[in-house]
Amino acid sequence: MDWFLWMMCLAMCGVVSGAKFEDLYQPSWATDHVVYEGDVIGLRLDNFSGAGFESKSKYMFGKVSIQIKLVEGDSAGTVTAFYMSSDGPNHNEFDFEFLGNTTGEPYLLQTNIYVNGVGNREQRLDLWFDPTTDFHTYSILWNQRIVVFMVDETPIRVHKNLEDKGIPFAKDQAMGVYSSIWNADDWATQGGLVKTDWSHAPFVASYKGFVIDACECPTSNDLSKCSNDKRFWWDEPTLSELSLHQSHQLVWVRANHMVYDYCFDATRFPVTPLECQHHRHL
């Protein structure tokens, strides 16, 4: 697509891209725990409250990205989340959840996928860098054929559309974009064995680089404009699967940093979930 057509698409097709928090987002709860420091937004957790923000609109397909610097030092018991979600009990959702740890121990990054209200698709990995010392970019690419979770543009998880195998795929509900920090010491660190040490509060997660490059759907009646429309870059056939280089990156991540995959948890799932049987061959 040439530059002129792309700009026309930005103007006409409901695509939003921005770098300022207030252009795209608004605080969603505990506004007194949302800290503004120039282009950086902080979410603060203490023993009174956590905090969160949400996108001003909802979207169908595209790419959302955000740069996060996670809680420094002892973050045990805390969870910082960045995710997309629709509304209602039968919602769709794509989750990044950063599970805090004691000083010197690595953060764990948990991803999860809900389709029609059904989740339990957790994967966990440790990162190849310290996410508390600098900002890193976390992204979700979503089109009608694939969902890709990325860290600094390296794919860490792929979820393909397998409707032809009888497996539902998230493609019929617009999603908002959200982030929050909260206390989850009943499960977040070593299965809840390590509790939050409130003497280290407040715990602050910092954000910048707010980008939403997606099809905007202010109401549920606008979904059709975001589907079956080749004007969008994310509908290009080449984006229905990873490139060879990305495939190699994903193999490296899984081999060196994956610490839990629900697909191999025979205790929870005596019968391997159907999507796992097919995703193993990606």
The residues that are catalytic are: 93, 97
SS3 of residue 125 by DSSP: strand
Nearest-angstrom CA–CA distance, 127 and 216: 32
Cα atoms in the Cβ-side hemisphere of radius 13 Å centred on 59: 30
Nearest to 72 by CA among 49, 95, 45, 51: 45
Sorted by sequence, the CB contacts under 8 Å of residue 187 that are 6+ apart come out as: none
Nearest-angstrom CA–CA distance, 154 and 281: 19
Tokens of 258: 């994956």
**Would strands 78-85 and 176-183 be described as parallel, antiparallel, or unpaired?**
antiparallel
User: Contact 214/63 with Cβ under 8 angstroms?
Assistant: yes
Query: What length does the chain have?
Result: 282
Query: Look-up: residue for tokens 């796992």?
Result: 276
DSSP state of 228: S
SS3 of residue 194 by DSSP: coil
Sorted by sequence, the CB contacts under 8 Å of residue 156 that are 6+ apart come out as: 109, 111, 125, 149, 150, 250, 253, 257
Nearest-angstrom CA–CA distance, 39 and 59: 24
The Cβ of residue 72 has, within 10 Å, a number of other Cβ atoms equal to 16
